[in-house]
Structure 1
Amino acid sequence: MEDEAKDMPLVVGIGGTIGGISSTERALRIALDAAAAEGFRTRMFGGADMARLPLYDPRAATRTAEEEAFVACVRRASAVIIASPGYHGSISGVVKNALDLLEETARDEGRPYLADMPVGLIATAYGWQATGSTIAALRSIVHALRGWPTPFAAAINTQLTRFDDEGGASDQAVIDQLRLVGRQVARFAPLAAA
């Protein structure tokens, strides 16, 4: 079964906050589970994973094992889902730092950056204003990385929606939106590979 799983396409989730399991990570997990239900393997780089990535230095001669593992995983991905909390109207520093590390793929022959890859987007914030600006920032970054933001992005106001430890949320509409993000990246991934 493990060998079969290695042949399945991969969706990589990037998102969360430092300091424990966050609403952002819980939202990302729901979206990744929806991609898994469509037949994809998933790998999540949450806040704890991103906290181990040093600040990106484009002039560094070597990379840490954590940096190498992150970049290698994204290189193998068929799709990506990025989830960020809205901090002061934009994405968090740890998410931006992880995305900056994708500069390591700039000269890849097969696929530089996120070229032609479907990318789902999720923003969580304590209020509506930061969700919209965070989604806009994520779309701009994905375009700069040559990826295809999926048509739907989930904007979640954590003032109104609470996530639980069992993988659910207080609002079924939010769960449905997150599942849609996961389904869209899974359904668009074969088109990108064609």
Structure 2
Amino acid sequence: MQQTEKPFILGLGGTTSPTSSTEVALGIALQAAEDAGAETELFGSDRLMALPHYRSDPAGLNQTGKDLVELVRRADGIVISSPGYHGTVSGLVKNAIDYIEETSTDARVYLDGIPVGLIVTAYGWQAVGSTLAALRSIVHSLRGWPTPLGVGINASGGMFSEGICTDESVNQQLKLVAQQVMLRSEVH
């Protein structure tokens, strides 16, 4: 099926700080998707913090939660970016992912057939690997298609500053994960 509109790529993730390495990395990937012709939206720190703990009760959804669910429904592809906290996905990002449960009765259940790029930042390699594996498992459970490349970044060296990444190899990986989401979303 040939797509006539720009694909919509949702960026989901970050920490409590919009200047965190996690959110900056996500922003770089989303910019690469925009440069490749996508419409993008970042669901980052401010909105992550405005989400109440997920509960499977539609009356429990605030406007931010409803907005997230609608963005997921609209998405042709998603890029998820999480810090590696204590060896796994942060509670803030996992809570947002739990809102995808609201799509369980949709025509497109969860992330069925949707390409999902994954980015993990941590201050050490052990948390990078285990968090990336956890995200891949979550995406599979939600029927999504993790991209072949998952970007794992040991951010302990201070490579993120003032909204940029000073490590060119990391920049290239972030652009590649966005390209892989774009390629898959075009055939979706």
TM-score, reference length from structure 1: 0.91
SS of 1:112's partner is coil
Q: Report the equivalent of 1:184.
A: 180
Q: Report the equivalent of 2:129.
A: 132
Aligned counterparts of 2:18 and 2:117: Cα–Cα separation in 1: 23
Letter paired with 2:149: F
Which structure is higher in strand share?
A: 2
Superposition misfits of 4+ residues, deviation over 6 angstroms: none
Contact in 2 for aligned 1:30/1:175 (Cα 8 Å): yes
SS of 1:124's partner is strand
Q: Report the equivalent of 1:148.
A: 145
Aligned counterparts of 1:164 and 1:188: Cα–Cα separation in 2: 31
Alignment: residue pair count: 184
Q: What CA deviation, in whole Å up to 9, does each residue of 1:54-75 have, x standing for no partner? A: 0001135342111111110111
Q: Report the equivalent of 1:64.
A: 62
Q: Report the equivalent of 1:168.
A: 164
Structure 2 residues not aligned, in runs of 5+ = none
Letter paired with 1:70: L
Q: CA RMSD in A?
A: 1.1
Q: Report the equivalent of 1:4.
A: none
Letter paired with 1:186: M
Contact in 2 for aligned 1:135/1:153 (Cα 8 Å): yes
Contact in 2 for aligned 1:21/1:47 (Cα 8 Å): no
Letter paired with 1:169: C
Contact in 2 for aligned 1:161/1:171 (Cα 8 Å): no
Letter paired with 2:141: A
Aligned counterparts of 2:158 and 2:118: Cα–Cα separation in 1: 18
Q: Report the equivalent of 1:46.
A: 44
Aligned counterparts of 1:133 and 1:36: Cα–Cα separation in 2: 29
Q: Report the equivalent of 1:8.
A: 6
Aligned counterparts of 1:67 and 1:91: Cα–Cα separation in 2: 19
Aligned counterparts of 1:150 and 1:19: Cα–Cα separation in 2: 26
